[in-house]
Structure 1
Amino acid sequence: MEGEEAKVIDARQLVRIEAVHRGFLYQHIYASICLLMAGGAGVERIIVEHDEDVEVVLPGRHIYVQIKTRQDDLASGDISGALDRFAEIRKAHADGDRAGEASFVIASNAAPNGPLKEKLAADDWPKDVALHWPEGPKPEDPCLPVPPASVPDAVAGCSALAAGLPLGLLRPDTLTWKLASMVIYASAGAPPRTDHDFAREELPDLFEQLAVQMQELPTPPAPYRAQINEPALLGDDEVRIVSGLSGAGKTAWVAEAVVHAPLLVTYLDVVDMPGAALATAVAREVAGKMFGRSSGKLGEIFLPGAIGLDMLGALSVKLGEEAIAAHVVIDNAHRVPPSDLEAVAARAPNLRILLLCQPGAAVTELEAKLGIKAETLNGWDEDTIAAALHDTGCQADFADCERLSRLTGGLPFYVINAAVVAAREYGGGVRDFCADVEAQTHIVETAQEVILKRAFESLSAEDRETVAVLSAADVPLSRDEAMNLLMSASGLDKKTAALRLKALPATGAMEMFGNSGLKIHDAIRVLGAADLGARGKGAEEKAKSALLQVMITSIREDWSIAKLGLLIRLFGQVGDARILVEFATDELFHEMGVWPEIEPYLLAIAASEEADPETRLWALDGLAFNDLRDGEAEPALERTNVMRALLEAHELGDDEWLAFGMKRMLAFSRLGDADGVKAMSDEVEKRLPDKSEHRRVFRYNRAWALFKLDQREAAAEEATALVGEYYGVLGLTPGDVFGRNAPELRPLLRKDKDVTDTVKHLADTLDLLAQSVGQFSQRSAMTRIHAMKFYELAQAYNSLVRVGQDLVDEFVWVHDFTGAREILEKNVFPFIQAIGLVSWVLPVRALYAVVLAYCGDHGAAAAEVARLRPYEEAMPPGHRDAFQNQKKMIEDLRLHGGPPQRRVEIPVPLQALFDQRRGAPRAVEPRRKIGRNERCPCGSGKKYKQCHGR
């Protein structure tokens, strides 16, 4: 999914990397605490990352501090290298190479273990070496802190010290992060701290300078939530542009980024500043920041009679002499003439200028003049939106968050405003809020509409019409598709339509996707859709009819779930019911994850007494099919009752009767009614056409009904026979499937006719066979692997993901946790993300968290659970119960551990079955039979008979 984070290739390497960076961050905050304690302890200098992690220089004395962070107790082996290095430093002081007395400290967040405590108490422990830990003896030196137990504790401790400084309104945690960033910079030996040290006399000025700088900046929101792939604040480019609509969070991003920046950053908001005054303002603000305590240097810059650009030039020269670059953020830069910004950039090459702009003609001109490309902020992803909604008291599942992201562009201000409106006017129901906004029936105007309406109304009449027409599409269109839409909907010729499209990017209303597509920005599309509706029903229908024809052509050339969803909505809006019913009765349609788009239309058709009886029956068939997929037998049976009434009242055909009979038989099986299944099965079999395709479909459905009646041997026998027949129809053998992925199998399929339905039926039958033969054996695992390959060939992605989850259960059962993780990361998540199966995102991620815990990656498992928690309240009851049980299981695995990873207990590791090319797998007896009332091994917390034993 979009916003879905990439999965790492080497999880162990990630754990190591995180541990290293956690250690460095702990070390930098420890040094920051030392800086805050230095003034009252007689410290002369504090040095970082030199001979030791932190060095504190006192009159006649030098303390060397080695910092250790550990998850477990500190052991002798953890400090042996430090003790050896201490010996070398001790000798340098004894020989006179180093001045003053030396003493040494090992500061750790972890207590020493038993053997190390014995060494500390031994007579041969060096008298000049102290070991500090959180619950240990208090440090004798007042310049050294008690080591915090963790990074959060270190931040809290540092912030508590910062709160004691007279820094006005500056938040203590802000100073903590600024100090930590400066320690990081000094650790790298970067100018002006090439010597890695902080002198005591400069600390008051340093604290004051940071306080002044931060108080001039806007306060970042608390909590600040990062946007997708945020750009770096500091860079080496002389000029950069970050462009985004009002509400995109540009200022908040800068305010938060400056908190963590290791260098001084000058911030200017030029919203009401004349362009001619810009150079003077920049020169004065930057010079005051960089050289405020040096009047002599300021005098060289502010020469008598110098004008703005001359002062700016002098400032740049002075910065060059000092070998430093000054970083400047100019907010609302689009309000200043581009020529003035160009002049500032040209005159001051030693400034690093970041321009924050709203998109429009000014940005386009700046890009051309400066030869650069504007960067953008990408908004919040669905998890971040979910967290913001949860904090506002709203309920939303993943699909709701994805829908709100499309409506707001994911822009933070608009998301928060939408959350406030949904909480106040919709009882926290984000789904209902989104539905009203999309239908333009909401009463409360959102900030998004208020803010953007002014910009929208400032567009020319032609641009507004173009935006309105293109707003009908919520997917990117190619340039030719957009032109065809404009030509049909607005009656334009090709040249005029091309000119309209060419002019639109400069307005900021259009998003460009490389050379492949364009789309009205999601945040503006709400206004465009409202404007289209205001133009009258005729204009709106004309635009949507034109878009429908464009999408019919487009989807044949470049298929996607998003296009299919738009196509369905357009069919429904223009009133073409029969095509919607044809969609709903196609099995493959139900695999696309777009059922929520079509269900409302089918419900309306099925309930309409005026609808054509045949169309109405097929609408009921589609609804019943989906009920059965979801395990809802009673609604499916009720729909077959209505189907039977239609058959009795009207002269409908054999196909309609067979659809009724099949669905009724399957509904009876779901309800455990063996007599009902037998009666319907016999009746359907009598009326079957004498065609092999029809008989195979019937046999599959009968076998599926037997399986649901717990007649597994009979179901497995029929499924085994059908699998062989389907392989024969396709011209394949099971041996052909070993070692080949779906793309490699496709060339082996018959070319003389479309076999998509046959491939799908083979996959269904393999899935049924795997369920019938009993789970947790090599036979069922390999059968599922084959089913997944054929589901991929048939583009039946919904079933592919479902079977993939069952396969993960198999791997976990045999304790192949690494294989289970690989299946999710390499075979399931890629399809969810690429196809956009939003309904599967939360269940699969919850299962992934359990697998991570089994793999021993408890930090990653806890992080995944934390990201899923904001969705919990909006989960369907069954999913919510399963998620709560999964959370308990993850916590239990963290506290007590899980079974060890099984190497090879079966002849071939299950993962290898994906790649095995020769020979059939050796038969392996299934693991012990699971009791019906035992807890299901999948982690759902349910009894086996209520979960995978159904």
Structure 2
Amino acid sequence: MAEDSEAATSSGEISPVYGISVIDEKQLIRIEAVHRGFLYQHLYGAACLLLAGAGEVQRIVVEGDEDIEIVLPDRRIYVQIKTRNGKLAAGDISGALERFEDIREEHRKGARPGIPSFVIASNAAPNGPLEKQIASSDWPEDVELHWPDGPERTLPCLPRPPRDLADALSVCSELAGQLPFALLRPETLTWKLASLVMLASAGSPPRKDHSFSRAELPGLFEQLVVQMQELPAPPPVYRAQMNEPALLAEKPVRIIAGLSGAGKTAWLAEAAQHAPLPVTYIDVVEMPGAALASAVAREVAGRMYGRSSGKLGEILLPGASGLDMLGTLSVTLGQEGLHADVVIDNAHRIPASDIEAIVSRAPHLRLLLLCQPGPGVAALEARFNIQAEALNGWDEDTIAAAAHDAGCLANFADCERLSRLTGGLPFYVLNAATVAARDYGGAIRAFCEDVEAQTHIVETAQEIILKRAFEGLPADAREAIALLSVADVALSKDEGTQLLQETCGLDAKGAAARLRALPSTGTLELFGMTGLKIHDAVRMLGKAELAARGPDLEKKVQEVLRGIIIRSIRQDWSIGKLGLLIRLFGQLGDARILVEFATDELFHEMGVWPEIEPYLLAIAADVDGEAEIRLWALDGLVFNDLRTGQFEPGETRIDAMKALLDEHDLGEDEWLAWGMKRMLLMSMVGDAAGVQEMLGLVEGRVPAKAEHMRVFRYNRALAFFKLGDNTTAVAEAGKLVEEYYDALGLTPADVMGRNPPQLRPLLPKGRDNTDQLKHLADTLDLLAQAAGRKSQRSTMARIHAMKFYELAQAYSSFVRVGMDLVDELVWVNDFESARYTIERNIFPVIQAIGLTSDVLELRALYAVVLAYCGDHQAAANEVERLRPYEEAMDPNHRAAFQDQKQIISDVRRYGGPPQRRVDIPPPLQALFDQRRGATPSVEPRKKIGRNERCPCGSGQKYKRCHGR
């Protein structure tokens, strides 16, 4: 009925799948309309099936001569279904009326028995001309027009036409709820019937004749008495996990493996509701393996043939063995061209040989095995030469929605933290949210901090459920898990072996043996052949086990791991390893090294500030500590205060730095650190006199070296910019940019059209250029800000700044300047370039590096850009995903987000400005292309889509590389 589907709307609103754009929006609108029409027809057919039992209906035919045909003892009703957005017009039904005449002729000739009746069922009322036509004497007496508010129906075997899809689902569910002895939920039965109508419409087995007989109805409506188990009911609110596997497939055996709490049963229950074919469920939690064949034969035969006369007697023969009955069942299915889909829950408890016997004897059965990790899964994988599939847990947005519904507050970083604690497993996330709401005032962050520090009092469901399995492991395995739990990033096989060797005093073979024993328990994740990590959900138990073994062992493993990570970072640097190293330094009390980290500007670019801040606060507050170390700890804290606009704590800490300078004999570097910070603070609070005073003091003490003077001049230009003197700032920044280009042996022409990987070989050899690259990028950023929007100079400065920030690995500034560039592109109505910049340049860095602090702000900006690009539904979807974070946002960000929501709403209602049609400048095109080059090195992150490219750079899909 493609030609009868509703007409495309004129609003231009579309519903694209998130992350996928379409070339032809009108084509998408047409496709959606066609599918809405088909689904409306299938639900109407389901309603006819539900009404057939109370009438004299002998058979219902779908997609025969008409959309629906109802066969009664003495008559045959032909139903044509029409869906429209507006009124129904005469032209919409003219073709149907002509076909009706052809069908009448068949009945007149006696080619078909019974008296024909015709119905046009529509969700739309007739327009004025059509109403007049119906009331005229020319209207055929045997044709009725049905619509939602039309006359009372005279045919009890036909439903009132629903208004739309939601109404159709409601009508069917109401009818399904009236069935006696129905064990399925009304909504579940509705979807089942709609799927069967769709199957019959396609003429697929067992519905090659497109029809349903009256005798079949009890079997379609009710669960069969011969069955002893039924599919579990889905949760009231089901939230999908990342990249969920399909429930049905053509493979003879599949395995879904996951820890208890991973949501396997909920996934099955939800997926089964929408399965077009029947699914037989068997839970073998306390079933001996020898009884499995009989149970499968009974359940499948009951599901497939429980209402067929004589079939069960042929299959379930008295005295026959379970395997014999399965063989007969499989032959019967094969003769009818069918397969039976069977889900076996807790299959890890059944010997692999018993399952293999079923597979060998019954080739027309497709088995889906739900298992918990362990030796049983390994045996099944080996036996059938298959790889277990996994449920990947909830992503951060889904965790945020669940936490919000539980009455909790959480920003993106909090949700990622909770994901790492729970592995994203649904049951553990929900329990954690419940505990946080009850005992932590809804603060997910406070709950995570307590659990990570092992200072929480209330035992979580995660600990309770997993503890039993953990305590059942051998002592050597528990010790290995405890030691490896200190690392929350993937270690290489050699690194894991070395950690066990040096901590436990093992030789290489002994350490490797311990590692080999862990994957089958589900506690150790393997990334290809090179990486390994304790499962996130298990690490909590491992850390508790380590604490119970005493502080000496804990300190020893921290010291060994610190050395391993230091060596590892030199070979394969990543943000995750840096964060782990910082925590290890803090736990071992390496204050001086922590201070060196905090006073390095690049450190603040890595997104690991939350890891080090608690340690710096403790060092700065230690009155017995070394004055120099305390001052540099304060310097790192002040740098972050000024960077994030927290002026009051910044001023307090600057005063504390001055007090240390007055009380102790510290050097020139310490005084300059204080002087520079005070000068910048004065400029940020608008104290021009204070700035001038500090400029005079600082300039007299800056070393007379070119690099030191350039840093001073940059800070001076920045101070003038903060005071509103853009002219001076632009002039000074422009001179500094030229000097930094000279120092790096580059010219702006060298940068034009080149991406960072192409620029790196042009840099001076034999020295570390990182600081100069960062300073040049900072100066270009200052130049862009001072020059203002709508300026080609500011646009090019931002593009070049992004390139140099990437070369310096200053990722936080890269993202910030990238968002400024997007703002500028939006300002000049170049929305397509703005979208391209976010999708191809900024998002990949955010994902690879894990800069959680920038995620929400960037996504809110992205939603606005989507709206301006005309992807209104995608913008609305993004806003909905961000709503659970709104209450936990920083007040300034929350206010901005509310303004952005209003912009998105206004653009959708009134339209936005037209896209600026200009050729993309080569430098901007080069920026767009630069993400095709090298990406930052990061450890494989768990939350990667299975069909995405693996972050390791192999070029393979994640599921075939580190996702294995």
- Specify which of 355, 367, 387 is matched with residue 341 of structure 1: 355
Structure 2: how far apart are the matches of 1:27 and 1:482?
59
- Specify which of 5, 10, 16 is matched with residue 22 of structure 2: 10
Q: CA deviation at 1:497?
A: 0.5
- Specify which of 739, 742, 749 is matched with residue 728 of structure 1: 742
Contact residue 737 and residue 745 of structure 1 kept, 8 A: yes
Q: CA deviation at 1:360?
A: 0.6
Whichever residue aligns with residue 677 of structure 2, its letter is K
What residue number does 1:939 align with?
Answer: none
Q: CA deviation at 1:849?
A: 1.7
Q: CA deviation at 1:483?
A: 0.4
What residue number does 1:801 align with?
Answer: 815
Identify if the C-alpha distance between structure 1 residues 395 and 48 changes in structure 2 by more than 3 Å, giving closer, same or farther: farther
Identify if the C-alpha distance between structure 1 residues 809 and 63 changes in structure 2 by more than 3 Å, giving closer, same or farther: farther
Identify if the C-alpha distance between structure 1 residues 683 and 143 changes in structure 2 by more than 3 Å, giving closer, same or farther: farther
Q: How does 1:528-543 map to 2 (within 5 A)?
A: 528-543=542-557
What is the aligned residue count? 905
Q: CA deviation at 1:26?
A: 3.9
Equivalent residue of 1:240, what SS?
Answer: strand
Q: CA deviation at 1:820?
A: 2.0
- Specify which of 650, 659, 667 is matched with residue 645 of structure 1: 659
Structure 2: how far apart are the matches of 1:37 and 1:451?
47
Q: CA deviation at 1:67?
A: 4.2
Contact residue 683 and residue 722 of structure 2 kept, 8 A: yes
Contact residue 669 and residue 677 of structure 1 kept, 8 A: yes
Equivalent residue of 2:518, what SS?
Answer: helix
Whichever residue aligns with residue 443 of structure 1, its letter is I
Q: CA deviation at 1:158?
A: 2.3
Contact residue 633 and residue 667 of structure 1 kept, 8 A: yes
Which segment drifts farther, 399-408 or 821-830?
821-830
Contact residue 770 and residue 781 of structure 1 kept, 8 A: yes
Identify if the C-alpha distance between structure 1 residues 708 and 422 changes in structure 2 by more than 3 Å, giving closer, same or farther: same
Contact residue 811 and residue 910 of structure 1 kept, 8 A: no
Q: Does 1:495 align with 2:513?
A: no
Identify if the C-alpha distance between structure 1 residues 886 and 748 changes in structure 2 by more than 3 Å, giving closer, same or farther: same
Identify if the C-alpha distance between structure 1 residues 468 and 206 changes in structure 2 by more than 3 Å, giving closer, same or farther: same
Contact residue 75 and residue 115 of structure 1 kept, 8 A: no
Equivalent residue of 2:408, what SS?
Answer: coil
Whichever residue aligns with residue 820 of structure 1, its letter is A
What residue number does 2:269 align with?
Answer: 255
Whichever residue aligns with residue 649 of structure 1, its letter is E
- Specify which of 905, 919, 925 is matched with residue 914 of structure 1: 925
Q: CA deviation at 1:887?
A: 2.1
Q: How does 1:781-820 map to 2 (within 5 A)?
A: 781-820=795-834
Identify if the C-alpha distance between structure 1 residues 432 and 335 changes in structure 2 by more than 3 Å, giving closer, same or farther: same
Q: How does 1:497-576 map to 2 (within 5 A)?
A: 497-576=511-590
Contact residue 48 and residue 196 of structure 1 kept, 8 A: yes
Contact residue 379 and residue 410 of structure 1 kept, 8 A: yes
Q: Does 1:105 align with 2:120?
A: yes
Task: Give aligned-pair identity as a percent.
Answer: 65
Q: CA deviation at 1:732?
A: 2.3
Identify if the C-alpha distance between structure 1 residues 133 and 737 changes in structure 2 by more than 3 Å, giving closer, same or farther: farther
Contact residue 40 and residue 164 of structure 2 kept, 8 A: yes
Q: CA deviation at 1:103?
A: 3.9
Q: CA deviation at 1:688?
A: 1.2
Structure 1: how far apart are the matches of 2:131 and 2:794?
54
What residue number does 2:622 align with?
Answer: 608
Structure 2: how far apart are the matches of 1:82 and 1:746?
69
Contact residue 7 and residue 825 of structure 1 kept, 8 A: no
Contact residue 53 and residue 67 of structure 1 kept, 8 A: no
Contact residue 86 and residue 104 of structure 1 kept, 8 A: no
Structure 1: how far apart are the matches of 2:743 and 2:132?
76
What residue number does 2:435 align with?
Answer: 421
Which segment drifts farther, 687-696 or 804-813?
804-813
Q: CA deviation at 1:48?
A: 3.9
What residue number does 1:404 align with?
Answer: 418
Q: CA deviation at 1:56?
A: 4.9
Q: How does 1:236-385 map to 2 (within 5 A)?
A: 236-385=250-399
Equivalent residue of 2:538, what SS?
Answer: helix
Contact residue 389 and residue 395 of structure 1 kept, 8 A: yes
Equivalent residue of 1:687, what SS?
Answer: coil
Structure 2: how far apart are the matches of 1:743 and 1:111?
64
What residue number does 1:199 align with?
Answer: 213
- Specify which of 871, 876, 879 is matched with residue 857 of structure 1: 871
What residue number does 1:830 align with?
Answer: 844
Structure 1, unmatched stretches of 5+, are: 918-950
Equivalent residue of 1:328, what SS?
Answer: strand
Structure 2: how far apart are the matches of 1:82 and 1:835?
59
What residue number does 1:884 align with?
Answer: 898
Identify if the C-alpha distance between structure 1 residues 886 and 51 changes in structure 2 by more than 3 Å, giving closer, same or farther: farther
Which segment drifts farther, 200-209 or 140-149?
140-149
Q: Does 1:464 align with 2:475?
A: no
Structure 2: how far apart are the matches of 1:490 and 1:685?
57
Equivalent residue of 1:731, what SS?
Answer: coil
Identify if the C-alpha distance between structure 1 residues 544 and 39 changes in structure 2 by more than 3 Å, giving closer, same or farther: same
Q: Does 1:592 align with 2:606?
A: yes
Q: Does 1:479 align with 2:490?
A: no
Structure 2: how far apart are the matches of 1:80 and 1:739?
59
Whichever residue aligns with residue 822 of structure 1, its letter is Y
- Specify which of 724, 734, 759 is matched with residue 710 of structure 1: 724
Q: Does 1:764 align with 2:775?
A: no
Whichever residue aligns with residue 881 of structure 1, its letter is A
Q: CA deviation at 1:735?
A: 2.5
Q: CA deviation at 1:122?
A: 11
Q: How does 1:683-722 map to 2 (within 5 A)?
A: 683-722=697-736
Structure 2: how far apart are the matches of 1:34 and 1:620?
76
Structure 2: how far apart are the matches of 1:821 and 1:118?
53
Equivalent residue of 1:519, what SS?
Answer: strand
Identify if the C-alpha distance between structure 1 residues 376 and 625 changes in structure 2 by more than 3 Å, giving closer, same or farther: same
Which segment drifts farther, 399-408 or 340-349?
340-349
Q: CA deviation at 1:685?
A: 1.2
Contact residue 774 and residue 780 of structure 1 kept, 8 A: yes
Contact residue 170 and residue 215 of structure 1 kept, 8 A: no
Structure 2: how far apart are the matches of 1:828 and 1:113?
53
Structure 1: how far apart are the matches of 2:745 and 2:214?
83
Whichever residue aligns with residue 284 of structure 1, its letter is R
Structure 2: how far apart are the matches of 1:253 and 1:876?
35
What residue number does 1:622 align with?
Answer: 636
Contact residue 227 and residue 302 of structure 2 kept, 8 A: no
Whichever residue aligns with residue 32 of structure 1, its letter is A
TM-score after normalising by structure 2: 0.88
Q: CA deviation at 1:421?
A: 1.3
Whichever residue aligns with residue 43 of structure 2, its letter is I
Equivalent residue of 1:355, what SS?
Answer: strand
Which segment drifts farther, 158-167 or 865-874?
158-167
CA offsets 1:142-199 (integer angstroms, 9 cap, x no match) = 5554554443333233222222222455322222222223233333332111233333
- Specify which of 851, 855, 876 is matched with residue 841 of structure 1: 855
TM-score after normalising by structure 1: 0.89
What residue number does 2:78 align with?
Answer: 63
Whichever residue aligns with residue 22 of structure 2, its letter is D
Q: CA deviation at 1:542?
A: 0.6
CA offsets 1:189-245 (integer angstroms, 9 cap, x no match) = 321112333334422331114899798222111111111111111111111111111
Q: CA deviation at 1:912?
A: 7.6
What residue number does 1:922 align with?
Answer: none
Q: CA deviation at 1:139?
A: 6.4
Equivalent residue of 1:245, what SS?
Answer: coil
Identify if the C-alpha distance between structure 1 residues 874 and 722 changes in structure 2 by more than 3 Å, giving closer, same or farther: same
Contact residue 476 and residue 517 of structure 1 kept, 8 A: yes
- Specify which of 154, 177, 184 is matched with residue 163 of structure 1: 177
Q: How does 1:47-126 map to 2 (within 5 A)?
A: 47-49=61-63, 54=68, 56=70, 60-68=75-83, 73=86, 84=95, 87=98, 90-91=101-102, 94=105, 99=112, 101=116, 103=118, 105=120, 107-108=122-123
Contact residue 57 and residue 157 of structure 2 kept, 8 A: yes
Identify if the C-alpha distance between structure 1 residues 52 and 588 changes in structure 2 by more than 3 Å, giving closer, same or farther: farther
Whichever residue aligns with residue 557 of structure 2, its letter is A
